[in-house]
Structure 1
Amino acid sequence: MKSTGIVRKLDQLGRIVIPKELRNMLEIEIKTPLAILVDGEQIILEKYQPYRACMVTGESSDDNVSLANGHIILSPEGAEKVMNELKQYMDNK
């Protein structure tokens, strides 16, 4: 894990503020769901992604396909976007 060197204190309600620079860097916007994980003494925050959510559109559906042993999940719309971008990329080579 990479240290940011940023230290924050909890407020009276147990809240911390994630610095704007980190939110921008990680594309965390207002109302972005975050999962809270515990690993030993560490608390880990990560963007929450529902099971079988498309990596392009974020859509969660039974119509989504799983590729590369579950490492890539795409909705039909997401797959179409990826195919179009790949076609453009290959046409420009």
Structure 2
Amino acid sequence: MKNTGIVRKLDSLGRITLPIETRRTLGLKEREPLEMYTEGDTICLRAYKPEKACAHCGSIDEVVTVGEGHICKQCLDKFNKSL
């Protein structure tokens, strides 16, 4: 784990704001879902990636399995049109 030296306080609803530098470094977009878990007394956050999501766009709608990967109908249609 890398210490950034950034300290944030919880607001009255228990929320924190992730600094823009951290979000940019990790490639987190606005409203992107995060998964929270704990390890001992440490709170960990990571980008949430559903098990069955499109490998191209991340969508979870109308996803089909191709080999060991997953692709949504929209991306599959785009791929087929480009052939």
TM score, norm. by length of structure 2: 0.71
Aligned residues: 75
Stretches (4+) displaced over 6 A: none
**Native 8 Å contact 1:53 1:64 kept in 2:** no
Give the letter for the 1:42 counterpart: T
> How far has the Cα of 1:22 moved from its partner?
0.8
* 2:22 is the counterpart of 1:22: yes
Q: Map of 1:40-51 to 2, 5 A cutoff?
A: 40-51=40-51
> How far has the Cα of 1:74 moved from its partner?
3.7
Inter-partner Cα distance in structure 2 for 1:30 and 1:5:
23
> How far has the Cα of 1:66 moved from its partner?
5.6
Give the letter for the 1:21 counterpart: E
Give the letter for the 1:39 counterpart: E
Inter-partner Cα distance in structure 2 for 1:66 and 1:33:
27
Aligned-pair identity (%) = 39
Task: State the SS of the aligned residue for 2:35.
Answer: strand
Residue 7 of structure 2 aligns with which residue?
Answer: 7
Residue 64 of structure 1 aligns with which residue?
Answer: 65
Unaligned runs of 5+ in 2: none
Is the alpha carbon distance of 1:65 and 1:41 closer, same or farther for their aligned partners in structure 2, counting shifts above 3 Å? farther
Task: State the SS of the aligned residue for 1:45.
Answer: strand
Give the letter for the 1:40 counterpart: G
Give the letter for the 2:32 counterpart: T
**Greater share of strand:** 2
RMSD: 2.4
TM score, norm. by length of structure 1: 0.64
Inter-partner Cα distance in structure 2 for 1:66 and 1:3:
40
Inter-partner Cα distance in structure 2 for 1:66 and 1:43:
35
